[in-house]
Amino acid sequence: MRLRLVKQGTSFDFFSRWKLWLGISGLLMVVAMVSFFLQGLNYGIDFRGGTTIRTESTQPIDVAQYRAAMEALQLGDITITEVFDPTFPEDQNVAMVRIQAQEGQESVTADVIQRVEAALRAVVPDIKFVSVESVGPKVSGELITTAIIAVILAIGAVLVYIWLRFEWQFALGAVAALVHDVVLTIGIFSELQIKFDLAIIAALLTIVGYSLNDTVVVFDRVRENLRKYKKRPLAEVLNISINETLSRTVMTSVTTLLALIALFVLGGDVIRGFVFAMIWGVIVGTYSSVFVASAILLYLGVKRDWSKPTDTTGNQFANVDA
């Protein structure tokens, strides 16, 4: 007896309320953009410039005590956060101390680091500086520009690929889904004020690839079924295609999420932001492949060209049981 996540021969109607789903997606994107423009992102050291110090001690972290010890140094904006991780032993107390980039300097000098260490050691004698990372303001500005260009080029390359692989209506649907995924991911980071650094940019690019893979599998089956069911309405063909690939979609998403959740719980704080972005991206990417990309295709319509032979490339695993 085989376990099935989706029973065989499903016939869900995904497009009975497709305008509602598009409206919900549009509203969520507006909320994400409003949050971005009002709150902004909690940029990590990669994008803000400055120095991040990771400390460890056997004494419990007292943020107010740490801050009071460093006030006399007059280093400007200082952020102190305690790092919680279930994998840490009871006597391992970790904190992240972030110091803003100093005017006229690319990074905090070694002399300043020694002064910070001395100030903190006065209140926590056994404190250790595990790592010190510095990024200058000029470099951080270049990283922001490079990151934006990377995401835009990735989405642009997808547009060209889908346009050549399918028709322009498919391309616009796929790109709309990718923009939807990226905007909602940036929005959740803005709303929750989770640290946004270069690892999150890597997650965004990975999400683009994951969402595109889901969308291409669905679109391949749609194109095949458009030739198979020549007289059926487009909405019905889309429903048939999504139901036929639903088993594969659910199996891929669930197995990916199982691995990501394990990493989120046990992987430690260093990769937690990246893993959170991936978990969120898998969820919204799966959603957008059905309720955004396909709904846009339904709205735009598609010309049925029967002169081309049926191409099943990318569909050989679409019927895998989940």
- The encoded tokens of residue 188 equal 């959740």
- Has residue 277 been placed in a domain? yes
Q: What whole-number distance in Å separates Cα of residue 188 and Cα of residue 79?
A: 21
- Has residue 161 been placed in a domain? yes
Full residue range of the structural domain in which residue 92 is found: 50-135
Q: What is the pLDDT along the chain (322 residues), one digit of tens a residue?
A: 455 666 666 777 888 888 888 899 999 999 999 999 998 888 877 777 778 888 898 888 888 888 888 888 877 767 788 887 777 888 888 888 888 776 656 566 778 888 888 888 888 888 888 888 776 656 666 777 888 888 888 888 877 887 887 788 888 888 888 889 999 999 999 999 888 888 888 888 888 888 888 888 888 888 888 888 888 888 888 888 888 888 888 888 889 999 999 988 887 777 888 899 999 999 998 899 888 888 888 888 876 654 555 444 444 444 444 4
- Has residue 66 been placed in a domain? yes
Q: Do 144 and 249 share a structural domain?
A: yes
pTM across the whole model: 0.74
- Has residue 97 been placed in a domain? yes
* pLDDT at residue number 305: 56
* pLDDT at residue number 106: 58
Q: How many domains, the chain?
A: 2
Q: Do 275 and 163 share a structural domain?
A: yes
* pLDDT at residue number 321: 44
Q: Do 76 and 181 share a structural domain?
A: no
CATH of the domain at 74: 3.30.70.3220
Query: DSSP of 41-106, one letter per residue?
Result: -EE-HHHH-EEEEEEEESSPP-HHHHHHHHHTT--S-EEEEEEP-TTS-TT-EEEEEEEEPPTT-S
- Has residue 315 been placed in a domain? no
- Has residue 311 been placed in a domain? no
Q: Do 282 and 160 share a structural domain?
A: yes
Q: Do 295 and 200 share a structural domain?
A: yes
CA 273 from centroid of its chain's CA atoms: 9
Q: Do 177 and 113 share a structural domain?
A: no
CA distances (Å), 236 to each of 17, 65, 218, 231, 303, in order?
Answer: 13, 64, 14, 10, 15
